[in-house]
C-alpha cells in the first residue's frame, strides 16, 4: 500500500463491534475518547482510516465497511451510494447506543454525512465534511466521464493506474514508483468489476446534496486539501460558503488521499475543527 508522506506510524488497533448491526455492515473501533463516526468514500472502508486512527487516538474512531453482497439494492442503487450509507448510519448509531456523535465523511462519504445531518440534526454533535463536493460541476462531469472511458475502453488495470496519477501527489508517486513500480503499488488493490465501477462513477457524476446545505443547522467544518486533484479545493470552498457558519480548514498536503498520505496533518485539521 502507498505509504504516508509523513513517515511511519504506529499500526492502528481496531476491534470488532459485536452489536445488532444493519445486515452486511461491519463496524470496528479504535482509540478512546469522544466518538467520531467515519464514512469513507467509494470503495473505501475501515482500513482507509488506519493512518488517522494512529494519529488521532485520543478520540474513539468508529469505522464501518459497507454491505458486501448483494451488490445492488432492490431500488437499483449500489449499496455504496451516499444515500445507502446515510440510511445505514442510523442503524449503526442505534446499535452502538449513540444518541449523538461527531460525523466525519470523506469524498462521496461527505455527501452521505450531509444527507444524514439534514435528516437527523438532533444526532449530530459536529459535522466534518472532508474532500467533498455539493453538486455536479463541469470538472467532475468531464473528469469522471474520462475515468469511465478509461475503465470501459482500456480495462481495470489502466483504470487503477489512472487512479494513482489522479489521487496521489506527483512527487510522492514518483518516489513510490521508483521503489515498487506500478505493479507493486497496485498489488494491494483488487481489480474492479467494470459494471459496478461504472455505476459508481455515474453516482459521483450525479451526486447532488446542494438542496440540503441551506437548511443545515449543526456545527459544521469543511476540511479540504489545497492540492486535491480529484475534487479541487474550490469545491470545498463552495461547500463552506453554502453552509451557514461552516468553518473551512485547509490541509496543505496529501491531495485527495490526505487521510492516508498525510494523516498527521489531517488529524491536526480534525482537532482544529473540533476545537
Q: Is the pLDDT of residue 76 over 60?
A: no
Cell of 192: 474492479
Class of domain 15-137+207-274: alpha beta
Name residue, grid cell 475502453. 153
Q: Is the pLDDT of residue 70 over 80?
A: no
Give the pLDDT confidence of 40-66 residue by residue, as tens digits: 987 778 888 999 998 998 999 999 876
For the chain, what are the domain ranges?
Answer: 15-137+207-274
Per-residue confidence band for 3, with pLDDT thresholds at 50, 70 and 90? very low
Per-residue confidence band for 75, with pLDDT thresholds at 50, 70 and 90? very low
Give the pLDDT confidence of 221-245 residue by residue, as tens digits: 999 999 999 999 999 999 999 999 9
Other CB atoms within 10 Å distance of the CB of residue 175? 12
Question: Which residue did the predictor score with more confidence, 183 or 261?
Answer: 261
Per-residue confidence band for 186, with pLDDT thresholds at 50, 70 and 90? low
CA distance 264 to 184: 25
What pLDDT is attached to residue 262?
Answer: 93
What pLDDT is attached to residue 245?
Answer: 94
In whole angstroms, how large is the CA radius of gyration of the chain? 18
What pLDDT is attached to residue 2?
Answer: 37
Order across the sheet with 60-65: list the strands: 15-16, 26-30, 60-65, 35-39, 101-106, 124-130, 220-225, 247-251
Per-residue confidence band for 154, with pLDDT thresholds at 50, 70 and 90? very high
Percent of the chain with pLDDT over 90: 54
Query: With the C-alpha atoms ordered 206, 127, 123, 78, is the resulting torsion angle positive or negative?
Result: positive
What pLDDT is attached to residue 73?
Answer: 43
What pLDDT is attached to residue 84?
Answer: 76
What's the DSSP call for residue 67? P
53-57, 109-113, 138-142, 191-195: the lowest-pLDDT one: 191-195
Amino acid at each position: 500500500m502507498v505509504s504516508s508522506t509523513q513517515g511511519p506510524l504506529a499500526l492502528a488497533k481496531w476491534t470488532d463491534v459485536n452489536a445488532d448491526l444493519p445486515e452486511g455492515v461491519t463496524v470496528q473501533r479504535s482509540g478512546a475518547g469522544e466518538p467520531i463516526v467515519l464514512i469513507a468514500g467509494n470503495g473505501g472502508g475501515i482500513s482507509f482510516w488506519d493512518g488517522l486512527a494512529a494519529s488521532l487516538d485520543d478520540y474513539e474512531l468508529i469505522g464501518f465497511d459497507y454491505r458486501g453482497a448483494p451488490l445492488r439494492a432492490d431500488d437499483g442503487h449500489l449499496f455504496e451510494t451516499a444515500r445507502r450509507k446515510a440510511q445505514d448510519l442510523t442503524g449503526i448509531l442505534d446499535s452502538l447506543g449513540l444518541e449523538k456523535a461527531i460525523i466525519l465523511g470523506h469524498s462521496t462519504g461527505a455527501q452521505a454525512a450531509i444527507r444524514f445531518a439534514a435528516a437527523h440534526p438532533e444526532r449530530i454533535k459536529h459535522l466534518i465534511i472532508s474532500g467533498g463536493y455539493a453538486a455536479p460541476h463541469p470538472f467532475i462531469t468531464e473528469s469522471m466521464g474520462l475515468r469511465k472511458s478509461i475503465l470501459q475502453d482500456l480495462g481495470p488495470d489502466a483504470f487503477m493506474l489512472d487512479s494513482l496519477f489522479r489521487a496521489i501527489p506527483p512527487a510522492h508517486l514518483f518516489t513510490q514508483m521508483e521503489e515498487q513500480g506500478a505493479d507493486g503499488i497496485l498489488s494491494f488493490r483488487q481489480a474492479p468489476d467494470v459494471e459496478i465501477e461504472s455505476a459508481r462513477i455515474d453516482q459521483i457524476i450525479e451526486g447532488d446534496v446542494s438542496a440540503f446545505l441551506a437548511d443545515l443547522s449543526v456545527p459544521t467544518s469543511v476540511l479540504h486539501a489545497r492540492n486535491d486533484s480529484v475534487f479541487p479545493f474550490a469545491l470545498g470552498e463552495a461547500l463552506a460558503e453554502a453552509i451557514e457558519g461552516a468553518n473551512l480548514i485547509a490541509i496543505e498536503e496529501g491531495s485527495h488521499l490526505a487521510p492516508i498520505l498525510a494523516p498527521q496533518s489531517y488529524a491536526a485539521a480534525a482537532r482544529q475543527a473540533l476545537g
